[in-house]
Amino acid sequence: MLGGLGLDGPAGGVQCSRAGCAETAVHAVHWRNPKIHGLERVKTWSACDEHVGFLAEFLRARDFPVVVTPVDETVERVVPEEAR
């Protein structure tokens, strides 16, 4: 699905998605832009401990639904928190 990016390869470390950060990601930040993505669409950023809060807040500030999990977990949907 993400052809060529190597994000779904075997363990060995995924780099944090924050620009300029070379830390190994330990969190996954799943999100969706409700204006352009359907409910079944999930975008995922990887984040180190330091930047997981930054990345999640960046998305929440845009009113995007966000779900944070350990880096090796996936979610089927990103549902707005107020809808749970």
Binding site for Zn ion (CB under 5 A): 16, 18, 21, 23, 48, 51
Asked whether the CA dihedral 62, 63, 65, 67 is positive or negative, the reply is positive
Q: Of 67 and 71, which has the nearer Cβ to Zn ion?
A: 71
Is the CB of 53 or the CB of 80 nearer to Zn ion? 53
Cβ nearer to Zn ion, comparing 16 with 29:
16
Least distance in angstroms from the C-beta of 34 to Zn ion? 26
62 is written with which tokens?
């845009």
The pair of structure tokens assigned to 33 is 């832009």
Element (H, E) at 55: helix 52-60
Region label for 75, one of left (φ > 0), alpha (ψ between -120 and 50) or beta (otherwise) = beta
| Shortest Å, Cβ 18 to Zn ion | 4
CB of 40 vs Zn ion, minimal distance in Å: 28
